[in-house]
Amino acid sequence: MKIRILSIFLVLSVFIAPVHVLGKISGYLSFGYIKGQDQSDQADGSFRNAQLGLIFSDELAPRIDYVAEIRFREESRIELEQAWVGFNLSNLVNFKLGLYIVPFGRYNQANRPHQTMLINDPLIVENMFPPSWRDVGVQLEGRTGSIYYSVYWGNGLFESENLRGGQQFTDNNLNKAKGARLGAKVSQSLEVALSYYRGKYDEDNERDLIFQGIDLIWSSEGLQIISEYLMGTIKNPENFSEGKVEGYYVQGSFESGTLRPVVSYQRIKYNDPFHGQGFVSPGAGAGISVEKNRWSLGFVYFASENVFLKFEYDINREKDPKIKDNSYSFQACLSF
């Protein structure tokens, strides 16, 4: 009941509240359908992932602004995507205080339905960190010429059954996680960035979780290529070896009128002897051993500037070749 009341209040706020109270308002809507082979998690086929996002932003005073984003996920979950106040001292120095989207890699910062060519997350993103990875703390960012940077200090992730389940908003130990991203517009067509993250993730404040990554985007005459390579080291108790996760994706798309074909190759290798199914701190789980690659083929049809339809077919190849779990997906999106 509380969720329904809050949902009604927020929707009414968009249409009734004065603009000077809410500031600038933008947002997005989407829903989809997925059907997989018999051994996939979507063998029965299902409409799913209805989403509504609302973004409020405005300047509170000269050089002081804010952004608040609410995301309604999967029909029943309301999440605060970001909520921060920014102090813009100059192009080179900008502070953000509050809940921010972690600037690790490219995909995590632009994963809303209207920002992606494909429907499903790349394998490495799906397994390496929580969906729409966020943190509470302080972020410093800026730009000079063709170079930009971001440095952040927050509560970090917590120890869970796997890396995807590590999202938290209050800290579970004495350590504060630290990270940075440094990028450059190398030429008119090419942009490259490096990312780094490090923080204690266990309740005893003893073991590090370390992520590193590099991403690039190349664009020219309608052709766009995006790629990310990410790796992580998971420190475990002394009688267990380190966990390792490593992978990449390469995605290419070509703009042809209202239709944009897209193709992606993705690969991940994720081994962790300490965590996995059944993990409950401080006891060990069954371990994690994932080795998988995927070809994703699809297209985006732009019905208008703000309304588009997506189709995606995923060809999955597991470590066990007997597993058959290919799937296809549809998604309808709009932004406003």
Cα radius of gyration (the chain): 21
CA distance 177 to 128: 16
Q: What is the β-pairing status of strands 190-200 and 208-220?
A: antiparallel
pLDDT tens-place values along the chain, 336 residues long = 444 444 444 444 444 445 455 689 999 999 999 999 988 888 889 998 899 999 999 999 999 999 999 999 876 788 999 999 999 999 999 999 999 999 999 999 999 999 999 999 999 999 999 999 999 999 999 999 999 999 999 999 999 999 999 999 999 999 999 999 999 999 999 999 999 999 999 999 999 999 999 999 999 989 999 999 999 999 999 999 999 999 999 999 999 889 999 999 999 999 999 999 999 988 899 999 999 999 999 999 999 999 999 999 999 998 888 888 999 999 999 999
DSSP state of 280: B
In terms of DSSP H, where are the helices of the chain?
A: 2-16, 19-22, 123-128
List the helix and strand counts (H, then E) for the chain.
3, 16
Instruction: State the number of CA atoms in the 13 A half-sphere of 255 facing the CB.
Output: 9
- Amino acid (1-letter code) at residue 73: R
Contacts 24+ apart (CB under 8 A), 212-218: 213/104, 213/105, 215/105, 215/106, 215/107, 216/190, 216/191, 216/192, 217/106, 217/190, 217/191, 218/189, 218/190, 218/191
Residue with tokens 């052709």: 223
The backbone torsions φ and ψ at residue 138, rounded to the nearest 5 degrees and listed phi first, read -125, 135
First-last CA distance in the chain: 28
pLDDT for residue 7: 47
List, in sequence order, every residue forming a beta bridge with 140; answer none if it has no partner.
Answer: 95, 151
Cβ neighbors of 109 (< 8 A, separation 6 or more) are: 101, 103
The residue extents of the domains of the chain are: 2-335
- Calpha distance 296→96 (Å, rounded): 36
Residue from 201, 207, 123 nearest 166 by CA: 201
What pLDDT is recorded for position 21?
56
Three-state DSSP class for 255? coil
The residue among 305, 59, 106 whose CA lies nearest residue 219 is 106
- Residue pair 157/176 in contact (Cβ under 8 Å)? The answer is no
Q: Give how far the C-alpha of residue 144 lies from the chain's centroid of Cα atoms, to the nearest Å.
A: 26
Q: Which CATH number fits domain 2-335: 3.40.1160.10, 2.40.160.10, 3.90.1640.10, 1.20.1630.10?
A: 2.40.160.10
Q: Which two tokens stand for residue 6?
A: 């809050």
Evaluate whether 284 touches 255 at the Cβ level (below 8 Å): no
